[in-house]
Amino acid sequence: MRDRRSTGTGKQSFLHGALILMVAIALVKVIGALFKIPLAWILTSVGNGYFGNAYALYFPIFSLATAGFPIAISRMVSENSVRGRYRDIRQIHEVAKRIFIVLGIFAFCVMFFGAKVYVQYADSNNPQNALPAIYALAPAVFFNSLMAIYRGYYEGLRNMYPTAISEILEALSKLIFGLAGALLVIQSGMREFSAYGTVYGVKQASAEFAKQATLPYAAAAAIFGVTIGSVIGFIFLFCYYKFRGDGITHEMLRSSPRPLPMRVTRSRLIRTAIPIALGAIAVNLSSLIDATFLKRRINDIMLSNPDVILNMYKNDLPAYVVQMNNVPTALYGCFANASTLFMLVPAITQAFGVSALPNVTEAWTQGNPKRIKKSIEMVLRIVAMITIPAGMGLSVLSGPIAKLLFGGADNAPDIIGRILVVLGLDAIFAAMSTPINSMLQAVGRVDLPVKLLLVGLLIKLVLNYTLVGIPQINVMGAGTGTLVCYLFITVFSLYFLCRETKVIPNFVAIFIKPLLSSLICVGAAYFTEKLLSMVISAKIATLFSIVLAGIIYVICMLWFRALHKSDLIMLPKGQKITKILEKHNWIR
Whether 62 is in a domain gets the answer: yes
| DSSP assignment letter at 64 | I
| Overall domain count for the chain | 1
Please list, residue by residue across 347-374, b when 16 or more beta carbons sit within 10 angstroms of its beta carbon and e when fewer do: bbbbbbbbbbbbbbbbbbbeeeeeebbb
Quick one: how far is CA 452 from the chain centroid?
Answer: 19
> C-alpha distances in angstroms, 155 versus 210, 303, 352, 450?
48, 51, 12, 22
The residue type found at 453 is: L
Whether 527 is in a domain gets the answer: no
Provide the domain limits for residue 100.
Answer: 2-505
Whether 541 is in a domain gets the answer: no
Question: Which residues touch 163 (CB under 8 Å, ≥6 apart)?
Answer: 21, 24, 151, 154, 155, 354
Question: Which residues touch 428 (CB under 8 Å, ≥6 apart)?
Answer: 345, 387, 388, 390, 391, 392
pTM: 0.69
Task: Specify whether the CB–CB gap between 484 and 460 falls below 8 A.
Answer: yes
* Burial class of 78 by CB neighbour count within 10 A (0 to 12, 13 to 18, 19+): buried
Whether 309 is in a domain gets the answer: yes
Whether 558 is in a domain gets the answer: no
Distance CA 153, CA 2 (A): 15
**CA angle (217 as vertex; 213, 219 as ends), nearest 5:** 110
Distance CA 72, CA 360 (A): 14
Whether 19 is in a domain gets the answer: yes
Please provide residue 202's backbone torsions phi and psi, each rounded to the nearest 5 degrees: -105, 130
The tens-digit pLDDT sequence of the chain (588 residues) is: 344 334 344 455 555 555 676 677 778 877 887 888 888 888 888 888 888 888 878 877 777 666 666 777 777 887 788 788 888 888 888 888 888 888 888 889 989 998 888 887 766 567 788 899 999 999 998 998 888 888 878 877 777 788 889 989 999 999 999 999 999 999 999 999 999 899 888 888 888 888 888 999 999 999 999 999 999 999 999 999 888 887 787 888 888 888 888 888 888 877 777 766 665 565 566 777 777 778 788 888 988 888 999 999 888 888 878 887 888 888 988 888 898 888 888 877 766 655 556 667 677 777 778 888 887 888 888 889 889 999 999 999 999 999 988 877 678 889 999 999 999 999 999 888 888 887 887 787 878 887 888 898 889 889 988 999 899 999 888 889 889 999 999 999 999 999 988 888 888 888 898 999 999 999 999 999 999 999 999 999 999 999 999 999 989 988 887 776 665 555 555 566 666 666 666 666
Please provide residue 204's backbone torsions phi and psi, each rounded to the nearest 5 degrees: -125, 145
Distance CA 66, CA 111 (A): 14
The residue type found at 317 is: L
Whether 116 is in a domain gets the answer: yes
pLDDT number for residue 220: 94
| DSSP assignment letter at 176 | I
Please provide residue 244's backbone torsions phi and psi, each rounded to the nearest 5 degrees: -105, -20
pLDDT number for residue 380: 86
Task: Specify whether the CB–CB gap between 568 and 588 falls below 8 A.
Answer: no
| Among candidate residues 283, 319, 198, the one with its CA nearest the CA of residue 456 | 283
| DSSP assignment letter at 258 | P
pLDDT number for residue 11: 56
* Element containing residue 489 per DSSP (H, E): helix 477-501
In the beta sheet, which residues pair with residue 198?
Answer: 203
Task: Specify whether the CB–CB gap between 146 and 96 falls below 8 A.
Answer: no
Whether 559 is in a domain gets the answer: no
* Burial class of 580 by CB neighbour count within 10 A (0 to 12, 13 to 18, 19+): exposed
Task: Specify whether the CB–CB gap between 555 and 537 falls below 8 A.
Answer: no
**CA angle (557 as vertex; 553, 558 as ends), nearest 5:** 120
In this structure, the number of other CB atoms found within 10 A of the CB of residue 559 comes to: 12
Question: Which residues touch 59 (CB under 8 Å, ≥6 apart)?
Answer: 284, 287, 288
pLDDT number for residue 18: 57
The 3 state secondary structure assigned to 288-356 is: HHHHHHHHHHHHHHHHHCHHHHHHHCCCCCCHHHHHCCCHHHHHHHHHHHHHHHHCHHHHHHHHHHHHH
Helix (H, G, I), strand (E, B) or coil at 584: coil
**CA angle (448 as vertex; 143, 499 as ends), nearest 5:** 135
pLDDT number for residue 8: 45
